[in-house]
Chain A
Amino acid sequence: MEVEQVVCLPRLSRVAVCGGTHGNELSGVYLVRELQKEVMEKEEEEEEEEEEHPSVSMVLSNPRAVQQCRRYVDTDLNRCFTRADLNGPASGPLPYEMIRSRELNAKLGPKGRSGAVDLVCDLHNTTANMGLCLIAQMPDIPMRFIHFELSNKESYSLDSVGKHGFAMEIGPQPHGVVRSNVYTAMKAGVQHMLDWVCFFNSGTLFEGESVDVFTMIKHIDYPRDIGTRNITAAVHPHLQDRDFCLLRPEDPLFQTFSGETLRYEGNEPLYPFFINEGAYYEKGIALSLARKRRVMIPAIRVQTEQERQAHVRESASEEEDGL
């Protein structure tokens, strides 16, 4: 008889929910403010926190950009969390967001160390028609789950600071706008996540199952004028808003301003996402392409106290053996 392999992981005692990493992605900004208010009201009522509840920090990641309703002040905060950026030299004037990423790393990390928070959930909006996506940036970790294959050293986003982390990305929503349906979906998503953490901490066994995961393969830029670098075509109307609908070779990709259709010239059918994200024009990305695969998630539950102590003893002896 086959015994299902259950992965046992430590309790999640510290969770961070971050909004306003991009200052004009407003669902997360307003949600973090609202949740901060609710936390304060709970504390006033002196409600007793039960053990399975993690301590939850609500963080406004980029306050200056939020105040100006801009994506960033000097540079994209969500690209400032590589090891090199976090540990680089402190001399000379740093862009505001580089200073901020180090502050956040001190508060929620340090990245890669045992003092880091257990889970970071970073809230984002997109102008692309992606619905609700969970995006994770670690090797082999599955997360409409989108996965960027990056090592812990190379991962550049805020959510990579925690021991576990992901971004919750919801669209379509214009930047600088809060849409009630998108805000409500994000609020429900965060609540489900926190509920899950409580269930996990209290010993629930989550059965293994398989899920579809989209792994980013490449980006495609807009066609541009050679001299000026101005774009010469828009996303084709047949592709616009069709995130996660399979794009096949020869399918329409762009439409020039004179009405000509430019087609997808790749050999492999792939899944497009982040189609026409406003913030990505300056990054040279009209859309991203992913491969879809079925990934088996093992069953998991929280470590018992015995298992945790055994794990601690094991790690200690591994260190002694110089492993």
Chain B
Amino acid sequence: MCGHLSYGLCVSPPPSAPGGDDLPYEVQRAQEINRIFGPKGSPEAYDVVFDLHNTTSNMGCTLILESSTDHFNLQMMNYIKKAIAPASCLVLLNEHPLLKYSTSRSVAKHPVGLEVGPQPQGVLRSNIFEAMRVLLKHALDFIELFNEGMEFPPCTVEVFRVLERVDYPRDANGNIIAMVHPNLQDCDWEPLNPGDPMFQTFDGKTIRYQGSGTVYPTFINEAAYYEKQQAFVTTGREALVASAIGKV
């Protein structure tokens, strides 16, 4: 790991429900997290929060960015990508005003999502565990270098910007009537062109992508998103420029 960087494992007790006993457990927990690592938007908030996630989608190693103007995060992600090369690590930017959601990590000044897949829910795969460990190691190395005074010159970072959510085809009762097409399954980050197969009905018919241009789908067939009406999201490729950063 990163030498003399010290960090503590923070395990907080369940909240004593100052927000009210009738709030859902996760809402109580969000308030607790905001008390410990925030308050969100204030000067006391934590500098960085790393939020570790897995996905059933074939996304490989992905870093999730919430703001295209967070130069610190952009520099960190650039560092991580270069550190693990030639292995791939892509950056997903979710700045979409409607599709953006309030993550637990957003209480920090610099929220960083680590998303590694494919891994089924409830399963621990050693290769996925190892990939996540390596990503986090490089992230913490970056912070240590920054704190020691290293300056990072301007750089360009390729990101995939979330464009829209695509749901499964459903019947009048809301039941899913088709699956991700075998040609699209596992093809996260690969170009999807108008006319390409997208879904396959349960009796074998192909439904094709009707968009106006090429997109790069990701989060393809994530188990947790069936209930959120999402079969995949489309993204567009963009190059973001990060300003030079250094410790003041």
Contacts and interface: CB of A to CB of B under 8 A. Distances in A.
Instruction: Tell me the dominant secondary structure on chain B's binding face.
Output: loop
B232 to A, nearest CB: 12
Nearest to A30: B202
A237 B128 CA distance: 10
Interface in B107-139: 118-127, 129-130
Chain B CB within 10 Å, residue with most, of A178, A180, A236, A255 = A180
Nearest to B120: A174
Interface stretch (A194-202, A211-219, A276-284, A297-305): A276-284
Interface string A244-266: 00000000000101000000000
A30 B120 CA distance: 19
B122 A69 contact: no
**What 5 A-B pairs come out closest when comparing CB atoms?**
A174-B120, A176-B223, A278-B122, A127-B120, A174-B56
10 contacts: A30-B176, A127-B120, A176-B226, A177-B221, A231-B124, A234-B125, A235-B125, A237-B126, A255-B126, A279-B122
A110 interface: no
B202 A183 contact: yes
A175 B122 contact: yes
Interface residues of B, number: 30
Nearest to B175: A33
B200 interface: yes
A180 B181 contact: yes
How many A residues are at the interface, by size bracket?
Answer: 20 to 34
Contact of B223 (A31, A177, A231): A177
Contacts of A172: 120
Interface string A179-191: 1110110000000
A267 to B, nearest CB: 26
A209 B121 CA distance: 40
B227 interface: yes
Contacts of A179: 179-180, 185, 221
Nearest to B184: A180
A30 B127 CA distance: 31
Nearest to B186: A179
A240 interface: yes
B126 A180 contact: no
Interface of B: 56, 118-127, 129-130, 175-176, 179-182, 185, 200, 202-204, 221-224, 226-227
A314 interface: no
A181 B185 contact: yes
B63 to A, nearest CB: 22
Contacts of B179: 30, 178-180, 183
B126 A235 contact: yes
B89 to A, nearest CB: 19
Given A179-B179, A180-B181, A236-B126, A174 B202 contact: no
Contact of B129 (A183, A184, A234, A278): A234
B182 A180 contact: yes
Contacts of B224: 176
A278 B179 CA distance: 22
B108 to A, nearest CB: 26
B2 to A, nearest CB: 17
Contact of A69 (B127, B180, B222, B226): B226
Given A181-B182, A278-B120, A278-B122, A175 B223 contact: yes
Contacts of A277: 123
Contacts of A30: 176, 179, 202
A298 to B, nearest CB: 37
A30 to B, nearest CB: 6
Chain B CB within 10 Å, residue with most, of A174, A179, A276 = A174
A171 to B, nearest CB: 9
Given A179-B221, A240-B126, A174 B121 contact: yes
